[in-house]
Structure 1
Amino acid sequence: MHKRVRFLLGVALGGGALLLYAWSVGVGGIVDRARTVAPWALGALVLLVVAEGVADGIGFWASVRPLGGGLDPLRSVQFALAGDFFDIVSPAGAASSEPIMSRFISVATGTGYSEALGVRGVAKYVKAAGQILLSSVVGVAVLRGDAAGVLRTLVAGVVAVLAVGVVAVAVGGRLARLSVAVLTPVAAAVSTVVPGVAADRDRVADAVDRFRSRVAEFGDRPALVLLIVLGGLLEQLLVAAALWTLLTALGTPVAFLPILVVVPLPQAATVVPVPASLGAYDLLLGGALVVTTGVASVTAATAVLLFRTTSLAFGLSTGGLCAALLRGWRPGV
């Protein structure tokens, strides 16, 4: 019951922010422009959104490969799409969906939950680092004037990502001990509600060690790290292509590279604990497009809302079907 209330509250807050954003740029203008989008552009949008969802399976396959041989490519795509579904329906969005997916991964690969969480944590970090680095390199070449603020944000993101990596390597042992100290009372509290959760300090320490060992495995398997990066960059290209297609169909053709630069920026919205980062993601992406491409706010908002409507619909439908299959549902049963 609490989860349902939190979900509805998150949707209300995110939806309210989204409505406020649409109202600020002009709801009527958004509707009028959306009606002018040609059917070919909408068809291309759907294909690009589907391709982006499938491309997510590349990094997923590579990230779980160390776990008992991992998953086959088709199952990896299924898991990736199910993850998109849980991003949308989880009360805290992406922040709470990854632990859910780690549980499914541990069952499918016959490994521990902490191990699954470890490899997925590496995948998220590597994917974000690759995308931000690409955006920074391209941004240096193409962003000028008012868009320089976006470039500074990207550079700050690169510094932050590198700092996290350096700290994790330099004080890994201390972080592990701190994690055990913090997680032991948490596990004890959770074990009173959820059966099977390890509550004693030794078992928590063992779980943390298994988490770290799985993370360390990627140091000996650079090909997997490269695949995760390439999968993330392909996703970035497909999202940028979808937005570029929409802006072109709206009668405001712009250069492709400035759009490519801003794609990773809205990921910062995942820290906002609402389903699908509703409202925060849309506002950040729309604002970044205005700054880097020079299009009108109402045009950027129209493109963003069309893209998000399509991606959320795909995540709820196809992703929901994939999630149902993971939970044991079968057609006709």
Structure 2
Amino acid sequence: MSEDTLRDSLVDIGWRGWVWVGVSVALLAGLVYIADFGEFVTSVRRADTSLFLIALGLGLSSLLVWAWVWHRFFEKVGIESTSSETVRMFLTGNFLNSITPLGQFGGEPIMAYIVSETTDAEYKRTLACVVSADVVNATPFFTFTLGGILYLAVAGSLRGPFVDIAALAVVLLALLSLTAYLLWSDKRGLGDTVIRLTDALEARLGRGESVFESVRESVEGVENAFQDAGDDPRFLITTAAISHLAILAQIASLYFVFRSLGLPTEFVPIYLIVNLSVIATLSPTPGGTGTYEAAFTGLTTLFFSVDLTTAVTAAVLFRLTTYWPGIPVGAVALLTLRNKMKANPGS
């Protein structure tokens, strides 16, 4: 694929992206239908608008926290970007992830390309920044989840599906930790492995020396960029600690969603619902739509004595404060970057 073709595919999302938005909406509509559409509408109308708007503001603030982590890594490796530009680039990347299946997995190269085209920075450095920032931003999901699991274990309530969630959270956190170590370690284990494989392939083929040399240089360049991004443990710890504010904002958002519906607002159940539901976003649907709301609904009925319709209403309203606003906001952000991306010839 040429750079012009790739650039066009990024700035013009096309019908396939909007088809996946339609799939997400259909899945959500199916859940609402099962819960009784008429009762759902009645529940939504009963919600306190002022409290919901507070929840919306808190939910959107989590996006700003994650964008701030991006900006912090940009400053770390010397990528020039204003705070406003960084927010728009993050929202654009978040939008692309939200409208594609498995968007949470492997979207970093495209997001790094957007950053490279917008800032005219070297692609190797933007890739290192985006991946490093996403690793840091993913950490709170698992630390908070494990914190909830630990609480259930101490309280003697760790049984049934919670055992499976705990096991999955531990495995994912271990994989995340291993990824961070391989990317940021100065031992160069990952890069050396790739280079050894490249050398072996070159020796076997006996030709293409210039191509293999280019691959080795690219691997070394990317590895050096990652080491620059993660060579300061204090920087990483501080950034990860502040990244946790995004999840706290979502917990506060759910608190006000529950208040708007007149539901109980005990901290522990709200904490557990927000963090345990995150595992459901690992489904193949865009943004985990459908599976997330189903998991959220199940947990709400488990922790509170509420009917199915009320639980679905809470799930939908919560997602309207944390997930769905990111789609139109991200689409607008993409349009604001469109001209600049087309103007830059590529790094």
Q: 2:42 aligns with which of 32, 54, 58?
A: 32
The separation in 2 between residues aligned to 1:178 and 1:273, in whole angstroms, is 34
One-letter amino acid of the counterpart of residue 174, structure 2: L
Query: How far 1:238 sits from its partner (Å)?
Result: 1.1
Does residue 1:326 correspond to 2:333, yes or no?
no
Q: 2:246 aligns with which of 226, 235, 260?
A: 235
Q: What per-residue deviation string (whole Å, max 9, x for no partner) do you get for residues 168-211 of structure 1?
A: 64952465359869xx9xxxxxxxxxxxxxx9443333333222
In structure 2, runs of 5+ residues without a counterpart are 1-8, 203-209, 342-347
> What SS does the corresponding residue of 1:94 show, helix, strand or coil?
coil
Query: How far 1:270 sits from its partner (Å)?
Result: 4.8
The separation in 1 between residues aligned to 2:173 and 2:17, in whole angstroms, is 30
Q: Relative to 1, partners in 2 of residues 1:138 and 1:95: Cα closer, same or farther, differing over 3 Å? A: closer
> What SS does the corresponding residue of 2:47 show, helix, strand or coil?
coil
One-letter amino acid of the counterpart of residue 73, structure 1: S
The separation in 1 between residues aligned to 2:333 and 2:26, in whole angstroms, is 29
Does residue 1:137 correspond to 2:152, yes or no?
no
One-letter amino acid of the counterpart of residue 190, structure 2: G
Task: Indicate the residue corresponding to 1:166 in structure 2.
Answer: 178
Q: 1:83 aligns with which of 89, 93, 100?
A: 93
Query: How far 1:133 sits from its partner (Å)?
Result: 1.3
Does residue 1:51 correspond to 2:61, yes or no?
yes
The separation in 2 between residues aligned to 1:32 and 1:126, in whole angstroms, is 40
> What SS does the corresponding residue of 2:257 show, helix, strand or coil?
helix
Q: How does 1:92-241 map to 2 (within 5 A)?
A: 92-95=102-105, 97-141=107-151, 144=155, 148=159, 149-150=161-162, 153-154=165-166, 156-166=168-178, 169=182, 172-173=190-191, 176-177=194-195, 200-241=211-252
The separation in 2 between residues aligned to 1:287 and 1:7, in whole angstroms, is 29
Task: Indicate the residue corresponding to 2:325 in structure 1.
Answer: 314
The separation in 1 between residues aligned to 2:321 and 2:300, in whole angstroms, is 18
Does residue 1:283 correspond to 2:294, yes or no?
yes
The separation in 2 between residues aligned to 1:172 and 1:225, in whole angstroms, is 20
The separation in 2 between residues aligned to 1:4 and 1:96, in whole angstroms, is 20
RMSD, matched Cα: 3.5
One-letter amino acid of the counterpart of residue 56, structure 1: W
Query: How far 1:234 sits from its partner (Å)?
Result: 0.9
Task: Indicate the residue corresponding to 1:194 in structure 2.
Answer: none
The separation in 2 between residues aligned to 1:180 and 1:23, in whole angstroms, is 54
Contact 2:20 / 2:100 at 8 angstroms: preserved in 1? no
The separation in 2 between residues aligned to 1:57 and 1:109, in whole angstroms, is 15
Query: How far 1:258 sits from its partner (Å)?
Result: 2.9
Q: Relative to 1, partners in 2 of residues 1:151 and 1:131: Cα closer, same or farther, differing over 3 Å? A: farther
Taking structure 1 as the reference length, the TM-score comes to 0.78
Task: Indicate the residue corresponding to 2:206 in structure 1.
Answer: none
One-letter amino acid of the counterpart of residue 153, structure 1: I
Taking structure 2 as the reference length, the TM-score comes to 0.75
Contact 2:132 / 2:230 at 8 angstroms: preserved in 1? no
Larger radius of gyration: 2
Query: How far 1:161 sits from its partner (Å)?
Result: 2.0
Task: Indicate the residue corresponding to 1:305 in structure 2.
Answer: 316
Query: How far 1:44 sits from its partner (Å)?
Result: 0.9
One-letter amino acid of the counterpart of residue 332, structure 2: L
The separation in 2 between residues aligned to 1:207 and 1:269, in whole angstroms, is 36
Query: How far 1:302 sits from its partner (Å)?
Result: 0.6
Contact 1:136 / 1:151 at 8 angstroms: preserved in 2? no
Greater shift after overlay, 34-43 or 321-330? 321-330
One-letter amino acid of the counterpart of residue 117, structure 1: L
Divergent runs of 4+, >6 A: 178-181
Query: How far 1:81 sits from its partner (Å)?
Result: 2.2
The separation in 2 between residues aligned to 1:277 and 1:177, in whole angstroms, is 36
Query: How far 1:32 sits from its partner (Å)?
Result: 1.6
Greater shift after overlay, 311-320 or 55-64? 311-320
Contact 2:113 / 2:123 at 8 angstroms: preserved in 1? yes
Q: Relative to 1, partners in 2 of residues 1:329 and 1:282: Cα closer, same or farther, differing over 3 Å? A: farther
In structure 1, runs of 5+ residues without a counterpart are 185-198
> What SS does the corresponding residue of 2:113 show, helix, strand or coil?
helix
Query: How far 1:101 sits from its partner (Å)?
Result: 1.9
One-letter amino acid of the counterpart of residue 55, structure 2: L
Contact 2:46 / 2:261 at 8 angstroms: preserved in 1? yes
Identity of aligned residues (%): 21
The separation in 2 between residues aligned to 1:205 and 1:283, in whole angstroms, is 46
> What SS does the corresponding residue of 1:220 show, helix, strand or coil?
coil
Contact 2:253 / 2:318 at 8 angstroms: preserved in 1? yes
The separation in 2 between residues aligned to 1:33 and 1:129, in whole angstroms, is 35
Greater shift after overlay, 142-151 or 73-82? 142-151
One-letter amino acid of the counterpart of residue 214, structure 1: A
The number of equivalent residue pairs is: 314
Contact 2:77 / 2:228 at 8 angstroms: preserved in 1? no
Q: Relative to 1, partners in 2 of residues 1:207 and 1:26: Cα closer, same or farther, differing over 3 Å? A: farther
